[in-house]
């Protein structure tokens, strides 16, 4: 089997798809109790990261210990 070299148009299309996949343009709204927010805020400061990153790292099944 021999592979064909992609055309410039195909390469640009693939690059555009890759760039769109990696864009961080998602926005969500989460309602939290005040005591939960304060706990997340403290944890974020301890970990040296932003509150959204600390929240999702803490609640993600991939990062639970």
* pLDDT tens for each residue of 42-62: 877 887 877 777 666 665 555
Quick one: pLDDT at residue 59?
A: 59
Per-residue pLDDT band at 8 (split at 50, 70, 90): very high
Quick one: pLDDT at residue 11?
A: 93
Distance in angstroms (rounded) separating the CA atoms of residues 39 and 8: 51
Confidence check: pLDDT of 6 > 80: yes
Quick one: pLDDT at residue 47?
A: 77
Distance in angstroms (rounded) separating the CA atoms of residues 59 and 2: 47
Distance in angstroms (rounded) separating the CA atoms of residues 2 and 46: 54
């Amino acid at each position: 089997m021999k592979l064909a070299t992609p055309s410039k148009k195909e390469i640009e299309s693939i690059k555009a798809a890759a760039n769109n996949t990696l864009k961080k343009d998602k926005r969500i709204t989460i309602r939290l109790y005040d005591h939960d927010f304060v706990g997340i805020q403290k944890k974020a400061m301890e970990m040296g990261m932003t509150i959204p990153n600390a929240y999702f790292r803490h609640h993600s099944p991939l990062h639970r210990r």
